[in-house]
Structure 1
Amino acid sequence: MRKLVIAISMLAFACSAAFADPILDRQALMKERGKIVGGLSKVVKGEEPFDAAAVLTQLQALEANAEKFDTGVEALFPAGSDTGDTTASPKIWEDMAGFKVAEQKYLADTKAAVAAAPADVDSLKAQFETIASNCGTCHQSYRIKKG
Structure 2
Amino acid sequence: MRKLVLAISMLAFAGSAAFADPIKDRQALMKERGKLAGQLSKVVKGEEDFDAAAVLTTLKSLQANAERFDAETLFPAGSDKGDTTAAPKIWEDMAGFKAVGDKLVTDVKAAVASPPADADALKAQLNKIGGDCGTCHQTYRIKKG
Name the TM-score, length of structure 1 as normaliser.
Answer: 0.85
Query: Which of 89, 93, 98 is the equivalent residue of 2:96?
Result: 98
1:11 is aligned to: none
Does 1:136 find its partner at 2:134? Answer: yes
Deviant stretches of 4+, over 4 Å: none
1:63 is aligned to: 63
1:87 is aligned to: 85
Which string of whole-angstrom CA distances, capped at 9 and with x for unpartnered residues, describes residues 91-137 of structure 1? 00000000000000011000000001111111111101100111111
2:111 is aligned to: 113
- Provide the aligned C-alpha RMSD in A: 1.1
Which string of whole-angstrom CA distances, capped at 9 and with x for unpartnered residues, describes residues 55-94 of structure 1? 000000000000001xx22110000000100000000000
Which string of whole-angstrom CA distances, capped at 9 and with x for unpartnered residues, describes residues 4-56 of structure 1? xxxxxxxxxxxxx6671100000000000000000100000111100000000
* Cα pair 1:19 1:76 within 8 Å, conserved: no
Give the distance between the partners of 2:113 and 2:19, measured in 1 at CA.
29
2:48 is aligned to: 48
Query: Which of 72, 76, 79 is the equivalent residue of 1:78?
Result: 76
* Cα pair 1:19 1:25 within 8 Å, conserved: no
Larger gyration radius, structure 1 or structure 2? 2
1:124 is aligned to: 122
- Aligned AA for 2:50? F
Give the distance between the partners of 1:49 and 1:73, measured in 2 at CA.
35
Give the distance between the partners of 2:19 and 2:45, measured in 1 at CA.
35
How many residues align? The count is 129
Gaps of 5+ in 1: 1-16
Q: Which secondary structure state, in structure 2, belongs to the residue aligned with residue 84 of structure 1? A: coil
Amino-acid identity (%): 74
